[in-house]
Structure 1
Amino acid sequence: MKRTKKVTDQTIQQLIDIAARLFSENGYHDVSLEEIVQTAQLTRGAVYHHFKNKKGLFYAVFEQTHERVAEEINKVDEEIQNPWEQLIQGCLLFVQTVSKETFYRILLIDGPAVLGWQTFRELDQKHSMRLLQEQIEYLQKNGTIKKTSSAALTSALSGAINDLSLWVAEQKDKEEATKEAENIINGILNGFRK
C-alpha cells in the first residue's frame, strides 16, 4: 500500500514539474495536454485521474510555485534579525524571485487569466500575502509602522510588488531594474514607518 502511494505521489510530482517547465517556457495556452503527457511518458488518463483536466493541473502548478516563492521569503526571516529589514528584503526577494522567467509567467500572467481573479487572490492571500500581512502586523505592534489597516496596506504593497515583478521581468538590465525596484519598495514602506 505504501509503495502505491509513493508511486502515485511521484507521478503527480512528475506531472507538476513537467507542466511547470512547459507553462513557464511557452505559456498555458500554447501547451497542450498531449505535450505534457508525452513528455512525462504517461497517458491522458493519468492527468484526468489526478487533476481532472489541464486547468486542474495548472492550478496545482500555480499553488506549488507560490509555495516555492513563500519558502524563499521565509529564509529571509532566518537570515535577518531586524524585523524592518526582514520586510524590506522579503519584498525585494519576492520581486527578484517572481521576475525570473520560471515564475512570472505562471504567477502573474497566466495565473489570473487561467484561474480567474478571485482564485488568484485567494491563493495569493494563502501564501505571499499572508506572510506580508503577518510581518506588517508585527511591525505595527512593536511601533515600527504607523497604525493603519494592515489588510489595506498588505493589499496595496502586494499589488505594487506584483507589478514591480512584472516590470523587472520585462527589463533588459535586470540588475539595474532590481535596484530601481528596491528604491520604490523603500520609498513606499518608509512612508508608513514611524
Structure 2
Amino acid sequence: MADPVLYIGNKNYSSWSFRPWIGMRTAGIAFEEKLVPFDMAAGNPAFKTFSPTGKVPVLVDGDVTVWESLAILDHVARRHPESALWPEKPADRTMAMAMSSEMMSSFLALRSACPMNMRRERKQIETSRAVLADVARIQALWSQCLEKSGGPFLFGTFSIADAMYAPVINRLDVYAFETTPIVSGYMARMKELPAWREWETAGRAEPWIVDEDEA
C-alpha cells in the first residue's frame, strides 16, 4: 500500500502544515510530502486541485482525504496505534484532545499578531493585552502538563498535543516573549527534535517571502 501524501505550504510560514508534519515525522509514520508554496495571504489557487477547502494541509490516504491539522493527526494516530501519538492514560488523552482543540479555536490574538516565521530575527514587538493573555494561558497549560508528567514533553512522551503547539514555540521564541524556566526548557527540547531541525532548515532555505503584515 502506498504511503499517504501530505500536502503542505511554505515551511517558513505554514503553521498548520507544520503540525501534522512534525507529528508524523517524529512518530516515524511514513508519508510522501508535496509542498505547494504560497506567496500571498490568501494562499494559492492551486490548493483547490487537491484541497476541499482550498487550504493546506491536506492528507490523501488511499481513497480518504483529510483536511485540518488535528483531524490529520487523529487519523494517522488511529491508523498507527503503535505510534502512541495520543497519550496512553484515558485522562491524559482527554486533556490532550481538549488542549489540541483549544489550539484550533483559540489564541487568535497571538496568531494574528505573531505569525510563525522560522527565519525571523529574534526581537520583541509591541503587543496587546489580548496577546499577553494568550501567552499566559498557553504557558499555564504547558506548565500544568509538564509538572504532572515530569516531561520531557507535555504528556511525557511526544504526542499530538506537542505537535499542535509546535508553531507556538516558534512564536514565543522569535517574538522574544518572556517564558518561565519550565516552559523555556520544554521549548528547547522541542527545538532539539530532529524533525524540528529538518523543518526549520528547509524553511530558512526557502526563497519565498510573504510580508509579515499579510502572513
TM over 0.5: no
TM-score scaled by structure 1? 0.30
* Higher share of residues assigned strand: 2
Which has the higher relative contact order, 1 or 2, with Cα contacts under 8 A spaced 6 or more apart?
2
TM-score (norm 2): 0.28
